[in-house]
Amino acid sequence: MALTPVALAHASRLVNHGPTVLVTTTHEGRHNVMAAAWSMPVEFTPPRIAVVIDKKTMTRELLQASGRFAIGLPCAALADLTYAVGSQSGHDVDKFARHGLQAVPGPVLGLPLLEGCVAWLELRHIPEAHLEDAYDTVVGEVVSAQADARVFAEGRWRFEDDNAELHTLHHLGGGVFAVPSRTVRARPLPSSP
């Protein structure tokens, strides 16, 4: 993987554009991966991310038991895999074995980071009983972040024609994803008299 460290001050920028993410977890020899369409930054310092993970999933079970999880950002080349792992239950199938997934251990927490993602965040779970008892939302503090410098550098995404295969996925429903196809740079507006 050609990933470079991302300053934690910029970690929330990895998910603030609303991408579909892959959540990986591991605990006592069990591991899982699932797709999640709803994630967002919720704090700057320290960086914290919220993600919706159904209480009935194996990912949620392993996350709560281990106190840690990772969020990967799949690119267009991983659309089929992202849809597959989001449509299967880890209670029914070992998704890593079924799909021949290759992962490397994360640099801080040792979580499985799937090869092919353009960015990764490792997070320590922050238990929020009042939130998690009522909702499927979990919160984690980012302890490491890394990204592919061909598409994320100097704290910013760079979605261009020359790196289209590395653009992130955005789930529209029913296995249909969008990718950022064009960016627009804002210009300062003239001051009013």
pLDDT value at residue 1:
59
From first to last of its 193 residues, the chain has per-residue pLDDT tens of 578 999 999 998 899 889 999 999 999 999 999 999 999 999 999 999 999 999 999 999 999 999 999 999 999 999 999 999 999 999 999 999 999 999 999 999 999 999 999 999 999 999 988 888 899 999 999 999 999 999 999 999 999 999 999 999 999 999 999 999 777 889 999 987 7
CATH 3.90.1150.110 fits 3-178, yes or no: no
- Tell me if 170 sits within 8 A of 177, measured CB to CB: yes
- The dihedral over CA atoms of 127, 133, 136, 141, expressed in degrees to the nearest 10, equals -10
Model confidence, pTM: 0.92
Domain residue extents for the chain: 3-178
